[in-house]
A and B are shown apart, each in its own frame.
Chain A
Amino acid sequence: MPKLKVLTQNPAEPGAVLEIDGAPSDGRVLTDHAGVTAALGWEMKPEGLCRGDVCVPVRDPAAVVTDDGIDLTAVAGLLGMSTLVDEEAGVVAVSAPAGDRRAALVGRQAPNFVLPDLDGDLHSLEQFKDRKRLLIAFASW
């Protein structure tokens, strides 16, 4: 399979650009098992999509696993992640999980994130747990 770049939006690994085996196909992306695991952080197993000890069943595996490969777009969709493909450049962007955002907006639980400071050192929201935190999004433009 040809190579494909993945722009992830993993809250624990900001700005990671990965390379997987895969190819765009009609606005979708076909890849293999390793590609799914790398791009989405969840592994396709017989029991479903798994991350660590957590597995979610896949109701219709035949819809996402084809003879040509695994439909990354469809698998991402099962996990609440959207994808957008730049076929010309061979790049796919994957969104943060919608569930994490709904946890914030509806469940009012602040999702953790990791971001670098100006020296490149990483900081997380969790690093300041047990304290009140003021999160200020601003731009210097």
Chain B
Amino acid sequence: MREWAQGISFPVLVDRDHLLAELYAVSNVPTVVWIDADGSIARPNAAEVGTDMFVDFTGVTPDAHMDQVREWVRQGTVPDDAEHEVDDLSDDEVTARLAFRLAVHRRRDGDAEAAAAWFARAAALAPMDFTIRRAAMPLQDVDPFGEAFFELFGAWREAGSPYHGVPRG
């Protein structure tokens, strides 16, 4: 994991138990939140990227967002979509997060079978949540860039790209 933090001067933190997925309703990554100096949220959850790495796949480039961030930092202006109110998690999505944590706990204890049952329960409760579905892939030796991911991505697009955050126009 260290290679991802090489040469970076700001703190890179490890959210092993998906705290942000519960506190901020993060449902996919990358998700970016702008927080003002007084602790208020200037622009809520939005899917923004830092590099061109996946531009062919996502169609999202970092440039527009970085320009907006610079304007916010320098002038305090925010884009219109900053007003968006992020949908709260449903009860099922909260329970899915608990099931995911139980799965991770059982996996750490070395019980892959029990973990699989909890991962399946979490997936059934929040089938379109990447912090559940895609995050479970590498923990179950499934390639998170492989067939299972593309299947999930297709189903998610089919469902109207549900996301807890600013919708992409």
B41 lies within 8 A of A110 (CB) = yes
A131 to B14, CA, bound (A): 22
Measured between beta carbons, the chain B residues less than 8 angstroms from A83 are 98
Q: Classify the interface of chain B: helix, strand, loop or mixed.
A: mixed
- CB neighbours of A136 from chain B (8 A): 30-32, 50
Cβ B13 vs Cβ A115 within 8 A? yes
Q: Which of A105, A111, A113 has most B Cβ within 10 Å?
A: A105
Chain A nearest CB from B13 CB (Å) reads: 4
A 106-141 binary contact with B (CB < 8 Å = 1; else 0): 101111010111100001010001111111111111
B134 contacts A86, C-beta separation under 8 Å: no
Residue of A nearest to B100 (CB): A93
CB distance from B23 to the nearest CB of A (A): 5
Given contacts A11-B19, A95-B97, contact A106 B85 (CB under 8 A): yes
- A15/B16 contact (C-beta < 8 A), A100-B23, A101-B24, A118-B2 known: yes
A9 within 8 A of B: yes
With both beta carbons as reference points, the residue of chain A lying nearest to B21 in the complex is identified as A137
Report if A138-B118 is in contact (Cβ < 8 Å); known contacts: A116-B13, A132-B73: no
Query: Which residues of chain B are near A86, meaning CB under 8 Å?
Result: 102, 105-106, 114, 118
Is the interface on chain B under 10, 10 to 19, 20 to 34, or 35 or more residues? 35 or more
Q: Give the distance to chain B from A8, nearest Cβ to Cβ, in Å.
A: 9
Contact of B86 among A15, A88, A105, A134 (CB under 8 A): A105
Asked whether A89 is an interface residue with its Cβ less than 8 Å from the other chain, the reply is: yes
A132/B134 contact (C-beta < 8 A), A93-B101, A105-B86 known:
no
The residue from B16, B72, B98, B109 contacting A84, defined by CB atoms under 8 A apart:
B98
Once A95-B97, A105-B85 are accepted as A-B contacts, the answer to whether A84 and B25 lie under 8 Å apart by CB is: no
Given contacts A86-B105, A137-B15, 10 further A-B contacts (CB under 8 A): A9-B22, A105-B87, A108-B40, A116-B14, A131-B37, A135-B35, A136-B32, A137-B24, A139-B134, A140-B1
Taking Cβ atoms with an 8 Å cutoff, the residues of A that contact B are 5, 7, 9, 11, 14-15, 17, 82-84, 86, 88-89, 91, 93-96, 98, 100-102, 104-106, 108-111, 113, 115-118, 123, 125, 129-141
User: What 9 A-B pairs come out closest when comparing CB atoms?
Assistant: A84-B98, A115-B13, A96-B22, A108-B41, A141-B144, A93-B98, A133-B35, A135-B33, A138-B30
